[in-house]
Amino acid sequence: MSLQDCNLIDLPRINDRRGNLTFVEAGRHIPFAIRRVYYLYDVPGGSERGGHAHKALHQLIIAMSGSFDIHLDDGHSRKTVHMNRSYYGLSVCPMIWRAIDNFSSGAVCMVLASDYYDELDYYRDYNEFVGAAQKAAK
């Protein structure tokens, strides 16, 4: 998997004077069934989260509130996506190193994930990740 597979998905928006509504349907807007939802909140200014890659997990990351930057790296190239709208979801496929920083105050980062939490699915060492990613690309 490469950075080209990490797309910003424009989720449906039902605009309403009473407040807007967005929804995500597994298999329609995202290419996986959702097994887990988690969220980062109360993030102190200057903090960085992430700093790992997953071997098989697919994720969709949404800025439910506020904003933050997501830095993606497939072992060859890098890109940064600024998240600041709750109707955009960033699809992050397996074998992508990600770090999240520049959280605004009150930011909430929600992640929809294709599987349960499993520490064995993580690369937490960047050099180990790059070695595996480059081997897989050959």
Between 23 and 117, name the residue whose CB sits nearer to ligand TYD.
117
Token code pair at residue 58: 């697919």
Taking the complex as a whole, how short is the minimal distance between the CB of residue 38 and ligand TYD, in angstroms?
5
Separation CA 130–CA 3 (nearest Å): 14
What are φ and ψ of residue 93, in 5° steps? -85, 175
Separation CA 90–CA 58 (nearest Å): 11
Between 29 and 52, name the residue whose CB sits nearer to ligand TYD.
52
Active-site residue flag, 54:
no
Taking the complex as a whole, how short is the minimal distance between the CB of residue 12 and ligand TYD, in angstroms?
26
Between 87 and 93, name the residue whose CB sits nearer to ligand TYD.
93
Between 36 and 71, name the residue whose CB sits nearer to ligand TYD.
36
Separation CA 36–CA 49 (nearest Å): 18
Task: Give contact residues for ligand TYD (rule: CB under 6 A).
Answer: 36, 38, 49-52, 117
Taking the complex as a whole, how short is the minimal distance between the CB of residue 49 and ligand TYD, in angstroms?
3
Taking the complex as a whole, how short is the minimal distance between the CB of residue 32 and ligand TYD, in angstroms?
15
* Nearest alpha-carbon partner for 37 in 113, 119, 115: 113
Separation CA 122–CA 124 (nearest Å): 6
Separation CA 44–CA 50 (nearest Å): 14
Active-site amino acid positions: 52
